[in-house]
């Protein structure tokens, strides 16, 4: 069966979108939002710091999931072009 150019284009577009999403998630995970202690009163800063760390971990997990989808999409593209 000949390759389907429309499907190949769709998969290429999907790969580009996934790559952008993964890079954005990795960048946000590497630098979660942080505020200095003088911006908070009392224990609020500690709670915020914990939340920022949790957010960074969730974004790193999201980036890893997107990377897996990228690999699957690359495989699907290779099959579509074969």
- For residue 1, name the pLDDT band (cuts at 50, 70, 90): low
3-state secondary structure of 34: coil
Instruction: Retrieve residue 5's tokens.
Output: 């150019």
Q: Read off the pLDDT of residues 2-57 as tens digits, 9 standing for 90 and up.
A: 778 899 999 999 999 999 999 999 999 999 887 777 777 777 888 888 888 999 99
Where b means 16+ CB within 10 Å and e means fewer, 25-62 reads bbebbeebeeeeeeeeeeeeeeebeeeeeeebeebbeb
Q: Read off the pLDDT of residues 61-73 as tens digits, 9 standing for 90 and up.
A: 999 999 999 999 9
* pTM check: above 0.95: no
Instruction: Retrieve residue 55's tokens.
Output: 């957010």
């Amino acid at each position: 069966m000949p390759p389907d150019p429309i499907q190949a284009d769709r998969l290429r577009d999907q790969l580009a979108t996934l790559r952008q999403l993964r890079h954005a998630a990795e960048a946000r995970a590497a630098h979660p939002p942080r505020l200095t202690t003088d911006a908070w009163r009392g224990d609020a800063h500690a709670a915020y710091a914990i939340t920022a760390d949790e957010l960074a971990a969730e974004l790193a997990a999201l980036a890893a999931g997107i990377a897996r989808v990228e690999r699957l999409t690359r495989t699907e593209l290779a099959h579509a072009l074969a």
